[in-house]
Amino acid sequence: MVFSIVEVARMSGVTSRTLRHYDAIGLLPPAGVSGNGYRYYEQEELLRLQQILVLRELDLGLAEIASILDEQTDRVQSLRNHLERLVRERDRLTRVADTVARTIDELARNEGKQNMSEIARPENLFDGFDPTEHEHEAQQRWPDQWAQSKKFTDTLTPTDTERMQREQTAAMIRMAELMTAGLGVDDAQVQVEIERAYQSIRRMWTPDAQAFKGLGQMYVDDPRFAATYDAITPGLAAFYRDAMAVYADARLG
């Protein structure tokens, strides 16, 4: 069967513009072009598009996807491999969703308590989060800082990692308490917490003012980080960002 670009867009949910882009970069050339200049696709192209969409769900870039698809020799085995990765990611996301749901339940049951440490158990807040998930991205974006951080994290034992996660969670809860109490981001107590956060980061690498602000902005812009912070209390990621900007201007500028 032959399908027009409009039909493929409708079936797959991928826009015609994106399909034309995939053609332009060689990722998904059509089966051919009709006499009137319209692209058309056959089963082979639809199967390749399915694989592209699967790999996009795994957060792979287009160049990496092209390399994987061009090197594969057994489509069935490749699909089995993709399925295994999807199942692992599904299971991880299920644990993350359960963690957030558990936190919501705890917050709802204890609404009105003054001390948030009574609400959420720190050891439970990060269940399901993969600490290596952002490693490749960080290596690409900040190679020097990543190298410094890697030296530090390579020395950590599982016990050290668990302790640091507990410390981070406790710090997030303290910040949430200050935010919900109505303190501003420039309040002395808030800035004490940011100083602690900065010193904690310095164990791995030393950000300047711009880098520290950029890190705070990433807490908001990256949905993975934002979900982690806002699972404690809505708006916490933005509160951290603004407080980190104040600290950077006052202490690191």
- pLDDT-based confidence at residue 42 (cuts at 50, 70, 90): very high
Single out the residue in 26, 49, 71 at which a domain terminates.
71
pLDDT above 90: residue 80: no
- Domain limits for position 14: 3-71
CA distance 204 to 67: 33
101 compared with 249, residue with greater pLDDT: 249
pLDDT above 90: residue 171: no
Do 47 and 26 share a structural domain?
yes
Averaged over 14-40, what is the pLDDT? 91
Do 53 and 122 share a structural domain?
no
Question: How distant is the alpha carbon of residue 217 from its chain centre?
Answer: 13
122 compared with 4, residue with greater pLDDT: 4
Averaged over 213-229, what is the pLDDT? 86
Averaged over 155-165, what is the pLDDT? 75
pLDDT digits over 101-156, tens only?
A: 665 666 566 555 444 444 344 444 444 444 444 445 555 655 666 666 667 667 76
Do 114 and 35 share a structural domain?
no
User: In this structure, what CATH number is given to the domain that contains residue 30?
Assistant: 1.10.1660.10
Contact 48, 69 (CB under 8 A): yes
- The Cα-based distances of 99 to 102, 128, 167, 178 in angstroms read 5, 7, 18, 23
Structure tokens, 10: 């409708």
Q: Considering its fold, how many domains does the chain have in total?
A: 2
Contact 45, 28 (CB under 8 A): yes
Residue 77 in any domain: the answer is no
Q: What does residue 173 show for φ and ψ, rounded to 5 degrees?
A: -65, -40
23 compared with 166, residue with greater pLDDT: 23
Do 229 and 167 share a structural domain?
yes
Residue 159 in any domain: the answer is yes
Do 100 and 46 share a structural domain?
no
CA distance 22 to 29: 7
CA distance 205 to 147: 9
Check residue 120 and give its pLDDT: 44
- pLDDT-based confidence at residue 167 (cuts at 50, 70, 90): confident
Count of C-beta atoms within a 10 Å radius of residue 40: 16
Neighbouring residues of 18: CB distance < 8 A, sequence distance ≥ 6: none
Check residue 92 and give its pLDDT: 66
pTM as predicted: 0.47
| Averaged pLDDT score across all residues of the chain | 79
CA distance 25 to 39: 15
